[in-house]
Chains A and B, each alone.
Chain A
Amino acid sequence: MAEALTLDAFARWLKQFAETVHDNVGLLTDLDSAIGDADHGTNMDRGFKAVVSVLDGNGFESPDALFKKVGMTLVSTVGGASGPLYGTFFLRFGSALQGVEAVGTQELGKALRAGVEGIVTRGKAELEDKTMYDAWAPALEAFDRAAPEGTAAALAAAATAAGEGRDATTDMLARKGRASYLGERSIGHQDPGATSATMLLESAAATLA
Chain B
Amino acid sequence: MKKLINDPADVVKEALRGMEAAHPGHLRVDHDHAIIYRKDAPRQGKVALISGGGSGHEPLHGGFVGTGMLDAACAGEVFTSPVPDQMMEATKQVDGGAGVLHIVKNYTGDVMNFEMAAEMAAADSGIEVQSVVTDDDVAVQDSLYTAGRRGVGITVLLEKIVGAAAEEGRPLQEIADLATRINSQGRSMGMALTSCTVPSAGKATFDLADNEMEVGIGIHGEPGRKRLPLASAKDVASLLVDPVVADLPYGKGDSVIAFVNGMGGTPLIELYVMYNEVAQILEQAGITVARSLVGNYITSLDMAGCSVTLLKVDDELVGLWDAPVNTPGLRWGC
Of B108, B140, B198, B223, the residue contacting A81 (CB under 8 A) is B108
Q: In whole angstroms, what is the CA distance A180 to B146 when docked?
A: 5
CB-CB < 8 A to A35: which residues of B? 222
Given contacts A77-B83, A81-B109, contact A36 B147 (CB under 8 A): no
CB-CB < 8 A to A43: which residues of B? 77, 80
Q: In whole angstroms, what is the CA distance A81 to B54 when docked?
A: 12
CB-CB < 8 A to B112: which residues of A? 81, 83-85, 122-123
B200 near A: Cβ within 8 Å? Answer: yes
Provide the A71-102 mask, 1 if CB < 8 A to any CB of B, else 0: 00001111111111100000000000000000
Stretch at the interface among A136-144, A170-178, A199-207: A170-178
In the assembled complex, how far is the CB of residue A121 from the closest CB belonging to chain B, in whole angstroms? 11
CB-CB < 8 A to B113: which residues of A? 79, 83-84
Q: In whole angstroms, what is the CA distance A171 to B112 when docked?
A: 26
CB-CB < 8 A to B146: which residues of A? 175-176, 180-181, 183
Nearest to A79 among chain B residues (CB) is: B80
Q: In whole angstroms, what is the CA distance A178 to B109 when docked?
A: 9
Q: In whole angstroms, what is the CA distance A79 to B75 when docked?
A: 11
Q: In whole angstroms, what is the CA distance A43 to B80 when docked?
A: 8
A185 near B: Cβ within 8 Å? Answer: yes
Q: In whole angstroms, what is the CA distance A124 to B77 when docked?
A: 24
Q: In whole angstroms, what is the CA distance A82 to B219 when docked?
A: 19
Whether A38 pairs with B145 at a CB distance below 8 angstroms is no
Whether A33 pairs with B205 at a CB distance below 8 angstroms is yes
Of A33, A78, A123, A183, the residue contacting B108 (CB under 8 A) is A123
B85 near A: Cβ within 8 Å? Answer: yes
B150 near A: Cβ within 8 Å? Answer: yes
B59 near A: Cβ within 8 Å? Answer: no
Question: Which B179-224 residues have C-beta < 8 A from chain A?
Answer: 198, 200-201, 205-206, 218, 220-223
CB-CB < 8 A to A76: which residues of B? 83-85
A196 near B: Cβ within 8 Å? Answer: no
A182 near B: Cβ within 8 Å? Answer: yes
Nearest to A36 among chain B residues (CB) is: B222
Nearest to B139 among chain A residues (CB) is: A181
CB-CB < 8 A to B145: which residues of A? 175, 180
CB-CB < 8 A to B79: which residues of A? 37-39
B154 near A: Cβ within 8 Å? Answer: no
Given contacts A76-B84, A177-B147, A180-B145, contact A84 B223 (CB under 8 A): no
CB-CB < 8 A to B292: which residues of A? none
Nearest to B198 among chain A residues (CB) is: A38
In the assembled complex, how far is the CB of residue A44 from the closest CB belonging to chain B, in whole angstroms? 11
A42 near B: Cβ within 8 Å? Answer: yes
A190 near B: Cβ within 8 Å? Answer: no
Which one of B77, B112, B116 has the greatest number of beta carbons of chain A within 10 Å?
Answer: B112
Question: Which A6-61 residues have C-beta < 8 A from chain B?
Answer: 29, 33, 35-39, 42-43, 46
B141 near A: Cβ within 8 Å? Answer: yes
Nearest to A82 among chain B residues (CB) is: B109
Whether B147 pairs with A178 at a CB distance below 8 angstroms is yes
Of A42, A82, A181, the residue contacting B200 (CB under 8 A) is A42
Q: In whole angstroms, what is the CA distance A39 to B53 when docked?
A: 14
> What are 5 A-B residue pairs whose CB atoms fall within 8 Å in the complex?
A37-B221, A42-B200, A83-B81, A180-B145, A182-B223
